[in-house]
Amino acid sequence: MFSTTVAVAGLSVRLRVRGPFDVARFRHRFGPYEVPGVPAPDGELLLYVEPQGKILTTEVPYPGVRCYRTDQGFKMLREGLALWVGVDGRAEAHVRGPEKIPPLSHEEDGGPAETPLRLLVSLLLLRSGRGALFHASGYAEERGGLLFLGLSGAGKTTLALRLPGGGVLSDDQVALLLGPPIALQPTPFVGVLGRTIPPRDAPLRAIVRLDEERQGRITPVPPRERSAVLLACLPLYAQDPLLAARALRLIDALQQAPLLRGSFSAAEGPLPWIDRVFRAASAG
């Protein structure tokens, strides 16, 4: 049985795997986040890797997820995945395996442990009240960190691929920690970017909703739209009253953070537009 502990967004999760498991593939993504020997992790995941091709939940169409809640925890189902997360932070997952067929644009994911770990970290972080994972891309430099929100197709990965690689935090899931100060952290949960981003902190300077109709521009988001923009990119908060309450507290804590919208133009490139984002954030 393979066993390790990973630390993401200030949380440690002990992973134990039963069944065939490609350790090298896992460490390609999660190696910089491994912290073996943590005596009391925040959560635990027991992962059963089923024989390849076994259909676990045929009644759940991909990519839909069904969530069943009791006083003891959650059960989440989708095609090829059944995940139970208890209120004590202990989790158990069954996944289709041993090899996950990746999209053609992303050939080096972390294997069958990646999705259960992402869901568990998302739940534990939001439940703790210390922050959340956002469906977002992120960028950091000496001036601070920028969080770029947007639904699928908004341009998060396109922007991440055009920015200097050393400053990119992720193109899919970025951790926001309330601090103080409020900070961004990379995660091993990336998409087409495909490469591991070592953990580090970046003080939050601004949040930007990507909007292709505003190419080359950056404008403030109206106050009446702030909550909707932020909640739209905050996974899982609606699955439980406690998580919903934590999400609303997080949104309230972000009221003073500049929330802007816009997009870089292909003709100009992203870096001049990033400079305007920082100037707009400084202007308040």
Q: The tokens 């100009």 sit on which residue?
A: 268
Q: In this predicted model, what pLDDT tens digit does every residue of 200-211 receive, in sequence order?
A: 899 999 999 998
CATH 3.90.228.20 corresponds to the domain 131-283: yes
Q: In this predicted model, what pLDDT tens digit does every residue of 134-177 receive, in sequence order?
A: 999 999 999 999 999 987 777 888 888 888 878 899 988 999 99
Of 245, 280, 248, give the one whose Cα is nearest residue 262.
280
- Residue 206 contacts residue 219 (beta carbons within 8 Å): no
Instruction: Give the HSE-up count for residue 201: Cα atoms under 13 Å, Cβ half-sphere.
Output: 9
Q: Which two tokens stand for residue 120?
A: 């568990």
Amino acid found at 240: D
pLDDT category at 22 given cuts 50, 70, 90 is confident
Q: In this predicted model, what pLDDT tens digit does every residue of 93-144 receive, in sequence order?
A: 887 665 544 443 344 577 888 888 998 999 899 999 999 999 999 999 999 9
Which H/E stretch holds residue 118? helix 114-128
Q: The tokens 């988001």 sit on which residue?
A: 221
Domain ranges of the chain: 2-128, 131-283
Rounded to an integer, what distance in angstroms lies between the CA atom of residue 193 and that of residue 106?
8
Instruction: Output the pTM of the full model.
Output: 0.82
CA 191 to chain centroid, in Å, comes to 10
